[in-house]
Structure 1
Amino acid sequence: MTLTLLLLFVVGLVLGIPVAVCLGLSSAITILVHDLPFTVLAQRSVNALDSTPLLAVPLFIFSAALLSATGVTAHLFELTRMFVGRLRGGVAQVNVLVSLIFSGMSGAALADIGALGGIQIKMMEEQGYSRRFASGITVAAATIGPIFPPSIPLIIFASAAEVSAVRALLAGVIPALVVTVALMAQIAVMARLGNLPRDTYHPTLPEVRRKITVSLPALLAPVLMIAGLLSGLFGPTEVAGVIVVYSIVIGIVIYRRLTVQGLWHAARESVEASANILFIVAAAALFAWVLTIGGVPAMAGQWLLSVSTDPLMLLLILNVLLLVAGMFLESIAAILIIAPIVAPTLLMAGVPPEQLGVIFVLNLMIGLLTPPIGMSLYMVSIITRMTFGEVVRGVLPFYVPLFVALAVVTLFPGLSTWLPNLVMQ
């Protein structure tokens, strides 16, 4: 049964069939061939979507689309540029910091690239950076978004592994800062060795004050979200709803750029993005059920425990598995397929669920910028009209800080568990 399922899935991928369709179609054919109850198709798919934490996914997507429609991304970029742009390699540092700030609104790597990529790369080119370097740091910095709350992949992981979504989201705060610092350190080294340019923009004090005033409402969105989670007053879904209302209010009342047409466009964009994600969730749940019936989780657990019972060794094995999976599978699909198989064993071995979620997401985000699939690479290639190979060469230096950050998060579980334990004792 398992062999039939995997062969059909691989054949579908080779033929270029979308991942969600491959998951659902291979599962349906396997169920039919092996005479399993066909009603499972509807039951498992619907049950997978009947989850309160998953309601946060379309709401967070909608809030990010609303904030993009108000033009806050340009304000955030200019504000950050005023503070660190004068450093050598400063505009590249701005790129990373803006990705961190915007990640508190979007929760997805591709959303960050779509909203910020064109602005960031154009600005860096105007300041004398090569297009290859600009595209490389833009892709690398987009890995921060899915780790820092609101993280859509972490919400998906919490649902798949049946752990607290609030704890999973809080666990991403410090690791996201670790990734940010690692990328900024790499830029500082490259700036010194490669004589990267300084920003030519010299803002006056009144301009800085004006930009802070204009940007403050947008900056309060991630603060409001994290405060809601830390206070315990809201869960992920409630926080997402609050951020949607807040985004509409500041877009209409403060920025006065959110029109009825813009609201409709943001809603339509959010529906399309949410449908794509939830289609994968439903299909992957069916795929995971067939794997479970075939005894794959039990076999995988026995094999892992036969190799080692040491949590660190098990995490190193998982890192390799996820890095390879991330090269070929869409990240949400990979979480939904792999998490139910390996999570029970690693949790039983003593790996904290918060650390496990962060490791899952960080590995798969690195996979988004790793050939042969690398959706982030393709997206930047489209934005910049560069060849895929040029984008890959641009991102090569930034694998170093990303893997350093991954090693740090793997070796020090406290980075992921400290904040959730502090808040939710």
Structure 2
Amino acid sequence: MISLILFGLLALLLLLSVPIAISLGIASTIALIVSGKVSGSYVPQGLVTSIDSFPLMAVPFFILAGDLMGQGGLSQRLINVGRMFFGRYTGGMAIIAVVTCIFFAAISGSGPATVAAVGAILLPAMARDGYKPSFSSGLVACSGSLGVIIPPSIPMVIYATSANVSVSKMFMGGVVPGLLIGFALIAYAWLQSKKDGQKPGDYRPTGREMLAVLNDAKWALMVPVIILGGIYGGIFTPTEAAAVGVIYGLVVGTFVYRELKLKDLYKIFAGSALTSATIMLIVGTATIFGRALAIEGVPMMLADFITSAVDQAWLLLLAINVILLIVGTFIETIAAIIILTPILLPLVTALGVSAEHFGIVMIVNLAIGMITPPVGVNLFVASRVSGLSLETVVKGAITPMLVMIAVLLVITYVPALSLALPAFFGM
């Protein structure tokens, strides 16, 4: 009964075009009130405690860092490097979008931050070059999800804590799967651009021009070196790395590239605060929604159903993939990890699946959840930065999402993709 209220009311509110955060909050609140299992203060307390997290603090910092880098010229120089290497090919701008998202993922640790930073510059440029708005916005939304797969990744930190595994091993395990998804999206971008009749670019830089572009971009190219080097070297945590990124972007944009003006700071800080507030409200209400599901025992019922239906590792992984893809459409990534890891991890480890491999599979599944409505955070960010309707962005994200699901199956059934690199470095 309560589950019907929860999902039925959410579906109704979404059909009425009520904002996703408000829909999740209303559905969860009414369902919890009807159930009578919690006190009236549960929802407001949950909204506060769900975002009262040190790792989660990295999200607004990375969003601000991305905005500062975008306004300060760092993101533009990364794009210039991508254009130098890929601008001559069919679909060059689309390929550059994916490549820049891969690079920025190693800076941000956040899917929404990656979409915001890259999309703000590239989506207008792709529109000027004649790319379909739905294609370009959907591609950036999907590519932005690499922000939680390629290290540093906030959800990986949450999973490592929940599963009691090494954060560094999880980070290292995400490199190959993240790059594999990136290459698959590049192939899709090239094929779709060719199908749409995009002409090859005419940009043919000389050797001197290439050196000039690389020299101009050296401060931007140093960002992932500083952030990842600091994290792997034990100098600072991912959250602290986000704060370092803010300072670095501010200093380089203001005093090195001199494209960031003091008069622009208020607008940048206000815009970052608004984006962060939107995302945090979704995180809070989605967490309440997930807790309502847990109170009603929905995850436990799913676990019981799975164990009674399958007894082989490959079937169990397939079933879990399906469940996680469905869960990712309704529950925010961090909430899903916290709720489902204690339930699903014992099931897979009992059949010989390593906790680290399962963690990568879970992260990739939930990264896809960032581009599936109704809780597709990347879709909302892409819609916001592009000025397009959510329906337009969703339409463009369908095909690249299917590409990501195909790669997910490869990652699921080839554990070496997640485990070989950590093993090589003795982790």
TM over 0.5: yes
Q: Which moved more, 1:240-249 or 1:120-129?
A: 120-129
| In structure 2, distance between residues paired with 1:118 and 1:240 | 20
Contact 1:69–1:257 under 8 Å retained in 2: yes
Deviation of 1:372 (Å): 7.2
Q: Counterpart of 1:197 in 2: which secondary structure?
A: coil
2: distance between equivalents of 1:129 and 1:44? Answer: 43
| Separation in structure 2 between the aligned mates of residue 113 and residue 74 of structure 1, nearest angstrom | 14
Task: Give matches, 1:141-160, under 5 Å.
Answer: 141-158=143-160
| 1:16-415 to 2 correspondences below 5 Å | 16=14, 17-26=18-27, 28-29=29-30, 30=32, 33-37=35-39, 47-117=49-119, 119-124=121-126, 126-127=128-129, 129-131=131-133, 133-158=135-160, 164-189=166-191, 196-327=198-329, 331=333, 334-335=336-337, 338-339=340-341, 341-370=343-372, 376=378, 394-395=396-397, 397-415=399-417
Residue 43 to residue 103, structure 1, CA distance change in 2 (3 Å): same
Q: Which amino acid aligns with 1:310?
A: Q
Structure 2 distance, partners of 1:271, 1:344, is 39
Deviation per CA, 1:92-116, whole angstroms, max 9, x where unpaired? Answer: 3222211211222333344333333
Query: What corresponds to 1:4 in structure 2?
Result: 2
Following superposition, the deviation at residue 216 of structure 1 comes to 1.2
Shift of 1:320: 1.5
Report the alpha carbon displacement of residue 121 of structure 1 after superposing the two structures with TM.
Answer: 4.1
Deviation (angstroms), 1:400: 5.0
Aligned partners of 1:163 and 1:283: how far apart in 2?
28
Structure-2 separation of matches of 1:97 and 1:334 = 28
> What displacement does 1:359 show?
2.8
Aligned counterparts of 1:38 and 1:419: Cα–Cα separation in 2: 49
Deviation of residue 82 (structure 1)? Answer: 1.0
TM-score, normalising length from structure 1? 0.81
Cα 1:69–1:169, aligned 2, differ >3 Å: closer, same or farther?
farther
Distance across 2 between alignment mates of 1:102 and 1:395: 20
Superposition deviation, residue 329 in structure 1: 5.1
Relative to 1, partners in 2 of residues 1:50 and 1:119: Cα closer, same or farther, differing over 3 Å?
closer
Q: CA deviation at 1:410?
A: 0.9
Q: Report how far residue 319 of structure 1 moved.
A: 1.7
- Aligned partners of 2:158, 2:303: CA distance in 1, in Å? 22
Q: 1:272 deviation in Å?
A: 3.5
Structure 1 residues 202 and 370: alpha-carbon distance in aligned structure 2, compared to 1, 3 A threshold: same
| Matches of 1:11 and 1:45, distance apart in 2 | 20
2:146 partner SS:
coil
Q: Specify whether residues 39 and 411 from structure 1 end up closer, same or farther in structure 2 by C-alpha distance, changes over 3 A only.
A: same
Say which is worse superposed, 160-169 or 6-15, in terms of deviation: 160-169
Rounded Cα–Cα distance in structure 2 between residues aligned with 1:418 and 1:282:
36
Cα distance between partner residues in 1 of 2:395 and 2:40: 48
Q: How many angstroms apart in 2 are the aligned matches of 1:194 and 1:309?
A: 46
Distance change >3 Å, CA 107–CA 266, structure 1 → 2: farther
Deviation at 1:70, TM superposition (A): 0.7
CA apart distance, 1:208? 2.0
Which range moves more in the overlay, 6-15 or 159-168? Answer: 159-168
The code of the aligned residue for 2:89 comes to L
TM-score when normalising by structure 2: 0.81
Question: C-alpha separation between the residues in 2 aligned to 1:294 and 1:127?
Answer: 51
Distance 1:35 1:238, change over 3 A: closer
Q: Any conservation in 1 of the 2:148–2:363 contact (CA below 8 Å)?
A: yes
Is 1:15 the counterpart of 2:17 in the alignment?
A: no
The amino acid that maps onto 2:417 is L
How big is each residue's C-alpha offset from its partner over 1:37-62, in whole Å with a ceiling of 9 and x where there is no partner? 55655665555445433333333233
Name whichever of 186-195 and 172-181 sits farther off.
186-195
**Structure 2 Cα separation of the partners of residues 102 and 346 of structure 1:** 32
Give the conservation status (yes or no) of the 8 Å contact 1:166–1:236.
Answer: no
Q: CA deviation at 1:331?
A: 4.7
Q: Is the 8 A contact 2:141 2:397 kept in 1?
A: yes
Q: CA RMSD in A?
A: 3.7
- How far does residue 177 in structure 1 lie from its aligned partner after superposition? 0.4
Moved more, 201-210 or 267-276: 267-276
Query: What amino acid is the match of 2:81?
Result: L
Q: Which secondary structure does the structure 2 equivalent of 1:201 belong to?
A: coil
Distance 2:209 2:394 in 1: 38
Tell me how far 1:325 sits from its aligned partner.
3.6
Q: CA deviation at 1:318?
A: 1.9
Q: Following the alignment from structure 2 to structure 1, what is the Cα–Cα distance between the partners of residues 258 and 103?
A: 22
Cα deviation, residue 235, structure 1: 2.7
With 16-25 and 353-362 compared, the bigger mean Cα shift is at 16-25
The alpha carbon displacement at 1:11 in A equals 0.6
Residues 252-294 of structure 1, C-alpha deviations (whole Å, 9 max, x = no match): 3312233334444443344334444444444455554454444
Amino acid at match of 1:115: A
